[in-house]
Amino acid sequence: MTDKALKRFYRTAAAVAGDDGHRVTLDGRPVRTPGKRALVLPTAALAAAVAAEWQDQGDTVVPDSMALMQLACTAIDRVAPVRPAIVERVAAYGETDLLCHRADAPAALVDRQAALWQPPLDWAAATLGIRLTVTTGILAVDQPPEALAGLAARLGALDDFRLAAAAQVTGALGSVMLALCLVQGRLSPAAATDAAFLDEDFQAERWGQDAEAAARRAAIAAEVATAARLIDLLGGLPATAA
């Protein structure tokens, strides 16, 4: 979607069911994506939420205020046509995943990282069969090829909309493991964001947080919350790709 505001050109937005899925209409005319593709959504709940974003616009339409619409368009325009490349790019985060790179001091930070970061890794190992290696300090670590292949397989099994959500969360938080936990319903968006900002929060407790850092965190939290809401509107746990 364009980031420019435009004069509102419709009166009523609505969600309409069809043979191929659910559409959003503006005064009866179907909405299309920025790529000129049909905006066909998989659930009535998602279509209703996107229609509500359109209906809630004022005298001008501000695309950046329609987060669900933007993410749905991303799934249709930018994910579906190049799925393998998206899967490869998101899975590559496993090579340097945030949760696998721990501090070696101070002890309080080490303990907090273990408390918040190890449970998602343990869950992924036990439930998904994905076992990433943890390292400390500035040392790099080569992740097991089978673990990276497992990440790619899990991501590749997601439908386009959940894959778009996973990609958004991975990029925002720097962790594909946190993204998978969120997609699978293992972590709430707030818990995933807290985990990703653990180091920053630890430093802010000691030295204080500036306004720019707080604004950045709020923006990222909003991205993660949008992805989580889209997943919820799709019906929760992952569906496989067509």
Beta pairing class for 29-30 and 21-26: antiparallel
Would you say the pTM of this structure is higher than 0.75? yes
Prior bond of 106 cis (ω within 30°): yes
Q: Where in the chain is the domain with CATH 1.10.3580.10?
A: 82-234
Residue 96 has pLDDT above 80, yes or no: yes
Digit-coded pLDDT (tens) for 156-182: 999 999 999 999 999 999 999 999 999
Confidence of residue 208 (pLDDT cuts 50, 70, 90): confident
Mean pLDDT of the region 79-103: 97
Confidence of residue 189 (pLDDT cuts 50, 70, 90): very high
Count of helix runs (H) and strand runs (E) in the chain: 10, 8
Residue 116 has pLDDT above 90, yes or no: yes
Name the token pair of 103: 């501090």
DSSP string, 127-162: II---PPPEETT---PPPHHHHHHHHHHHHTB-HHH
Class at the top of the CATH hierarchy for domain 6-65:
alpha beta
Q: What is the fold of 82-234?
A: ATP12-like fold (1.10.3580)
Digit-coded pLDDT (tens) for 7-36: 999 999 999 998 899 999 999 999 999 999
Q: Where in the chain is the domain with CATH 3.30.2180.10?
A: 6-65
Instruction: Pick 199 or 210 by higher pLDDT.
Output: 199
Phi/psi for 79 (5° steps) reads -100, -55
Residue 7: helix, strand or coil by DSSP?
strand
- CA 217 to each of CA 104, 143, 211, 225: distance values in angstroms, whole numbers, following the listed order: 25, 28, 10, 12
- Report the pLDDT value the prediction gives residue 242, as an integer from 0 to 100: 38
